[in-house]
Chain A
Amino acid sequence: MSGGAPKPAVLAPAFLADALRIARKDLLIEFRTRSAFMAATVFAVLSVVIFRFTWDPTAIPAFDLAPGVLWVIFTFSGLLGLNRSFGLELSDRAYDGLLASQVSRESIFVGKVLANLAFVSGVQALALPAVALFFDLHVGSAWGVLIGIVLCASLGLAAVGTLFAAIASNTRLAELLLPMMTLPFFVPLVIPAAQTSAYILRGQPLEDAMPWFKLLLAFDLVFVTACIVVFPYTIEE
Chain B
Amino acid sequence: MPIPPETGATGVAATHKGSGALLDLPLAVEAEGLVRAFGGKRAVDGVSLTLGSGDCLALFGPNGAGKTTLLRLLGGLLKPTKGTTKLHGVPLPGPAETRRLVGLISHHSMLYPALTVRENVRFAAECQGVVDADAATSEVLRQLRVLDREHQPVRFLSRGLQQRVSIARALVHGPQLVLLDEPYTGLDEVGALAFTDALRELKDGGATLVLVTHNLVEGIALATRAVIMRGGRFVYDEGTPAGGFDLPAFQAQYRALVHEGLA
Contact = CB atoms under 8 A, between A and B. Distances in A.
**Direct A/B contact, Cβ within 8 angstroms:** yes
B15 A100 contact: no
A13 interface: yes
Given A9-B131, A102-B97, A3 B115 contact: no
B106 A10 contact: no
A101 B99 contact: yes
Contacts, number: 120
Candidate in B111, B128, B174 with the most chain A CB atoms within 10 angstroms: B128
Given A99-B77, A104-B96, A237-B78, A10 B111 contact: no
Interface residues of A, number: 36
Interface in A55-108: 88, 91-94, 96-104
B140 to A, nearest CB: 14
A76 B153 CA distance: 31
Q: Majority SS of interface residues in chain A? A: loop
A230 interface: no
Interface residues of B, number: 48
A10 B99 contact: no
B111 A32 contact: no
Interface in A85-135: 88, 91-94, 96-104
Candidate in A21, A100, A102 with the most chain B CB atoms within 10 angstroms: A100
Contact of A25 (B123, B130, B170): B123
B109 interface: yes
A229 interface: no
Q: Majority SS of interface residues in chain B? A: loop
Contact of B128 (A4, A94, A96, A101): A101
Nearest to B170: A97
Nearest to A13: B96
Interface stretch (B3-11, B188-196, B211-219, B235-243): B3-11
Contacts of B79: 237
A25 B121 CA distance: 12
B114 A103 contact: no
Nearest to A24: B123
A97 B114 contact: no
Contacts of B57: none
A102 B11 contact: no
Interface in B130-184: 130-131, 153, 169-170, 173-174
Interface string A8-48: 11111100001001000100110011000000000000000
A83 B196 CA distance: 39
A173 interface: no
Contact of A33 (B104, B114, B123): B114
A102 B14 contact: no
Given A10-B128, A102-B97, A25 B6 contact: no
A2 interface: yes
A1 interface: yes
Contacts of A104: 96
Contact of A13 (B2, B93, B114, B129): B129
B11 A10 contact: no
Contacts of A11: 129-131
A130 to B, nearest CB: 28
A7 interface: yes
A50 interface: no
Contacts of A3: 11, 14-15
Contact of B113 (A92, A99, A103, A237): A92
Contact of B6 (A7, A91, A93): A7
A176 interface: no
B194 to A, nearest CB: 19
B259 interface: no
A6 interface: yes
A18 B124 CA distance: 11
Given A7-B11, A21-B123, A21-B126, A100 B99 contact: yes
B102 interface: yes
A32 B131 contact: no
Given A93-B106, A97-B169, A100-B102, 11 more contacts: A1-B206, A4-B15, A6-B11, A10-B9, A10-B128, A28-B115, A92-B111, A94-B111, A97-B170, A100-B77, A102-B100
25 contacts: A1-B2, A2-B14, A4-B14, A5-B11, A6-B9, A6-B11, A7-B8, A9-B8, A9-B131, A11-B129, A13-B96, A13-B129, A21-B127, A25-B123, A32-B114, A88-B114, A91-B113, A94-B111, A96-B106, A97-B110, A98-B127, A100-B77, A100-B102, A101-B100, A102-B96
What 4 pairs across the A-B complex have the smallest Cβ distances?
Answer: A6-B11, A3-B15, A93-B108, A1-B205
